[in-house]
A and B are shown apart, each in its own frame.
Chain A
């Protein structure tokens, strides 16, 4: 019994959601092995040790210079064979979903997406944007599933390990190298990256009233140094660009504070903002789901309340 975790890393080391996946894997009680694919930042091994990985399979070689779903899955498959693991998991990110779906197709086994708990052969996972849970049988081996974001809190292991490292350099057949990234253009400041990493997000929905109804929320966003997020109806109506959308078909945010203004709180939107630590809803309807699910709320017209908040922040700053 071994759980193999496909770990994603960035400039800051192991990503938060991959730490969550490692924590989830440890929770099964089985030994945890981690898989790293391609070049890695310094210090990753120590981090994986802190999260209790007993072995690390590092897949390298020129094939892994550029990302491809099939390419990465071939690397993960090599680690699967080397480890003899009977469970493979990853964070439920676009990459995690894609690589594990490839692996499941290659091994002809099922894959469960967005799992929140596992009990023997039964996993519980999020469906319908996280508003419904499905209990699903996953009897085949390897069991392949992704862990839903924030299903568990990332927790270092009680007893850190010094993982043994195996370097794998698999020979890949040409078909696994066809669909790879040919170029990456760094994201500009207007991309959704700013939204997913912001400490404060100000949201706006149908209550904005029209394409010209966003001046107030944009100003509050600037004053708080945050990011603007909007609901799907706003992007569908063409009031704001799609990269600002928070929701099931937009960005998933997890800020310290989310201030949704004039957003009713449909499932589509809640799927993207449920991980916010504190929600301060501003809405005319005190029975709107966004209000009843919020931590705090102000009842009234966003077009009156939002400028008043901006003015109050500025007033206090002037007073020092």
Chain B
């Protein structure tokens, strides 16, 4: 029986253009909406599979404002059965703070007799891109951590995690309890069913105060890189442009 905690983050769903808030502290998402950070849909899928395979539970956690309940409900809709919101202004937190908040929830749940043998996170958040929350969490919990893997399975108290390394496909095996961070691509996240959505609506959200005062992200301000004026040279329209393209490829020495 493996009880999994999977951590997700509500992030702006940026398309091809980003606008900053007037105070230069965040991305202005009023016109783009929000989503769950990319790798985490796969982390949720893995959590739900591991819970099903081992007869355990999958709990979803986010550290964010009240609107982040939307991302919790999305995870509940695909098979997580409990959800926790640490309600705070996410912009005021740095990766050290987020790791501490997650650790506090893990310890608290442990104290209530519903501990999490395995904590899954995304490898990095699509917005803040800190690449470190899972690792810091592992040190706080004194657990082993495997980072940036694509598949995770549990058998007999051992986690097997597989990912791409510089020399090929790497396999890690670590004993539970453990922390694993996940990259997109190893599993296909399932779509919510109608009954899943209904259940998600009814599931109570455990809402908690932050465990401590944040140290903050160290952010001075955000800026947009200077817009480069377009210097594109149009080679032509339609298939008639093919000779011009091949002339170019030849001049660049890539036609062999």
Q: A: which residues have CB within 8 A of B?
A: 8, 10, 67-70, 93-95, 97-98, 101-102, 104-106, 110-114, 122, 125-129, 131-138, 146, 175, 178-187, 191-192, 199-200, 224-226, 232, 235, 238, 242-243, 245, 248-250, 256-257, 264-268, 270, 278, 280-281, 286, 289, 291-301, 304-305, 307-309, 311-313, 316
CB distance from A138 to the nearest CB of B (A): 7
Q: Does any Cβ of A come within 8 Å of B52's Cβ?
A: no
Inter-chain contacts of B248 with A (CB < 8 A): 280, 296
26 contacts between A and B (CB under 8 A): A68-B172, A69-B147, A106-B139, A111-B130, A112-B218, A113-B131, A129-B14, A132-B225, A135-B221, A136-B218, A137-B220, A179-B146, A181-B172, A185-B169, A248-B126, A256-B254, A267-B18, A278-B252, A289-B17, A291-B232, A293-B230, A294-B232, A295-B231, A298-B241, A312-B245, A313-B249
Question: In the complex the two chains form, is A257's CB within 8 Å of B252's CB?
Answer: yes
Question: In the complex the two chains form, is A136's CB within 8 Å of B135's CB?
Answer: no
Q: Which 8 A-B pairs have the closest CB atoms?
A: A242-B185, A308-B239, A308-B242, A101-B132, A135-B220, A292-B230, A300-B238, A178-B144
Other A-B pairs beyond A104-B132, A113-B131, A180-B172, 9, CB < 8 Å: A101-B135, A110-B218, A184-B165, A185-B169, A224-B255, A238-B188, A270-B16, A298-B236, A305-B238
Q: Does any Cβ of A come within 8 Å of B237's Cβ?
A: yes
Residue from B129, B146, B242 within 8 A of A126 (CB atoms): B129
CB distance from B120 to the nearest CB of A (A): 15
Question: In the complex the two chains form, is B219's CB within 8 Å of A179's CB?
Answer: no
Question: In the complex the two chains form, is B20's CB within 8 Å of A113's CB?
Answer: no
Closest to A183 in B: B171
Q: Does any Cβ of A come within 8 Å of B128's Cβ?
A: yes
Inter-chain contacts of A69 with B (CB < 8 A): 135, 145-147
**A312 vs B256: C-alpha distance when bound (angstroms):** 14
Inter-chain contacts of B55 with A (CB < 8 A): none
**A126 vs B228: C-alpha distance when bound (angstroms):** 17
Given contacts A69-B147, A70-B145, A184-B168, contact A225 B233 (CB under 8 A): no
Inter-chain contacts of A286 with B (CB < 8 A): 234
Inter-chain contacts of B87 with A (CB < 8 A): none
Question: In the complex the two chains form, is A300's CB within 8 Å of B18's CB?
Answer: no
Inter-chain contacts of B237 with A (CB < 8 A): 298-300
Question: In the complex the two chains form, is A133's CB within 8 Å of B223's CB?
Answer: yes
How many positions in chain B have a CB within 8 Å of any CB in the partner chain? 84
Inter-chain contacts of B246 with A (CB < 8 A): 309, 312-313, 316
CB distance from A267 to the nearest CB of B (A): 5
Which of A8, A135, A295: most chain B CB closer than 10 A? A135
CB distance from A310 to the nearest CB of B (A): 9
Inter-chain contacts of A127 with B (CB < 8 A): 127-129, 222
Question: In the complex the two chains form, is A138's CB within 8 Å of B129's CB?
Answer: no
Q: Does any Cβ of A come within 8 Å of B96's Cβ?
A: yes
Closest to A140 in B: B218
Inter-chain contacts of B15 with A (CB < 8 A): 266-267
Q: B: which residues have CB within 8 A of A?
A: 12, 14-18, 20, 27, 38-39, 94-96, 124, 126-132, 135-136, 138-139, 142, 144-148, 164-175, 178, 183-186, 188, 217-225, 228, 230-246, 248-250, 252-256
Given contacts A105-B135, A110-B94, A179-B145, contact A224 B254 (CB under 8 A): yes
Closest to A144 in B: B132
Residue from B95, B96, B174, B188 within 8 A of A179 (CB atoms): B174
**A64 vs B94: C-alpha distance when bound (angstroms):** 32
Question: In the complex the two chains form, is A245's CB within 8 Å of B174's CB?
Answer: no
**A196 vs B171: C-alpha distance when bound (angstroms):** 22
Residue from A93, A136, A292, A295 within 8 A of B220 (CB atoms): A136
Question: In the complex the two chains form, is B234's CB within 8 Å of A299's CB?
Answer: yes
**A191 vs B185: C-alpha distance when bound (angstroms):** 12
CB distance from B214 to the nearest CB of A (A): 13
Closest to B20 in A: A132
Inter-chain contacts of A307 with B (CB < 8 A): 239
Given contacts A192-B164, A238-B188, A267-B18, contact A312 B243 (CB under 8 A): yes
